[in-house]
A and B are shown apart, each in its own frame.
Chain A
Amino acid sequence: NAGVTQTPKFQVLKTGQSMTLQCAQDMNHNSMYWYRQDPGMGLRLIYYSASEGTTDKGEVPNGYNVSRLNKREFSLRLESAAPSQTSVYFCASSGMGGRSGNTIYFGEGSWLTVV
């Protein structure tokens, strides 16, 4: 029972480099999310996708792009990494979103350092 799988788990980038974080879920969920977690800030939403083919900005979208490739996969791209993007990134998914009490399930996180 894999749930939400994200890769890579650890990555070090140089300023200006690009990279893509991959995420896949096997729970047939409609909604998928990317969050970042910073010390003392809790989790903040970067982008979300309510269904295949749709994406929307969250609280902190600047410097990121996303692609909902199909129902299973939702990738996050950093086009030109900056030190301020050093963070732990979490992908998550939900059947109908939290509005009806449905649980949001999280991946194990990707630790990204930009030097």
Chain B
Amino acid sequence: GNSVTQMEGPVTLSEEAFLTINCTYTATGYPSLFWYVQYPGEGLQLLLKATKADDKGSNKGFEATYRKETTSFHLEKGSVQVSDSAVYFCALSDQGSQGNLIFGKGTKLSVKP
């Protein structure tokens, strides 16, 4: 079945460091891919998405490119801020169940000043 694997956390970085959170997926067909962010005590918010191969999603300085050849959707940001501290979830749309999202386990990011 469809699945998402993302790097285990927690990840601790200093402010202005470069961020990469790896995400790979297994899926049949052509799913859409998403990154969601969860700030402490809050629900999930869409960070960015890509709907087809080679698409690049971007938002708030974060980027991820849909790589079909490597089945990956790695999240990157060139210079993280303390306010980026959160849990990040990679997800794909499960076309077999009305578009339900299959989530990775989440990666907790802590950014120190």
Which residues of chain B have C-beta atoms less than 8 A from A50's C-beta?
A: 98
CB of A40 within 8 Å of the partner chain: yes
Which residues of chain A have C-beta atoms less than 8 A from B89's C-beta?
A: 42-43
| A98-B100 contact given A43-B89, A106-B44, A106-B45, CB 8 Å threshold | yes
Contact indicator B43/A109 (Cβ below 8 Å)? yes
* Docked CA distance A107–B64 (Å): 25
**B9-52: contact bitstring with A at CB < 8 Å (1 yes, 0 no)?**
00000000000000000000001101010000011111001010
CB of B95 within 8 Å of the partner chain: yes
* Docked CA distance A41–B45 (Å): 18
Would you list which residues of chain B between 74 and 101 have a CB under 8 Å from chain A?
A: 89, 91-95, 97-101
CB of A84 within 8 Å of the partner chain: no
**A28-59: contact bitstring with B at CB < 8 Å (1 yes, 0 no)?**
00010100000011111100101000001010
CB distance from A96 to the nearest CB of B (A): 7
Would you list which residues of chain A between 71 and 108 have a CB under 8 Å from chain B?
A: 90, 94, 96-108
Which residues of chain A have C-beta atoms less than 8 A from B67's C-beta?
A: none
Which residues of chain B have C-beta atoms less than 8 A from A56's C-beta?
A: 97-98
* Docked CA distance A109–B94 (Å): 22
Which residues of chain A have C-beta atoms less than 8 A from B49's C-beta?
A: 101, 103
Which residues of chain A have C-beta atoms less than 8 A from B42's C-beta?
A: 108-109
* Docked CA distance A33–B95 (Å): 15
Contact indicator B43/A98 (Cβ below 8 Å)? no
| A101-B51 contact given A90-B44, A107-B43, A108-B43, CB 8 Å threshold | yes
Contact indicator B104/A98 (Cβ below 8 Å)? no
* Docked CA distance A8–B43 (Å): 14
* Docked CA distance A43–B43 (Å): 11
| A31-B43 contact given A97-B93, A100-B32, A101-B93, CB 8 Å threshold | no
Which residues of chain A have C-beta atoms less than 8 A from B104's C-beta?
A: 42
| Chain B contacts to A: CB under 8 angstroms | 31-32, 34, 36, 42-46, 49, 51, 89, 91-95, 97-101, 103-106
| Chain A contacts to B: CB under 8 angstroms | 4, 31, 33, 40-45, 48, 50, 56, 58, 90, 94, 96-109
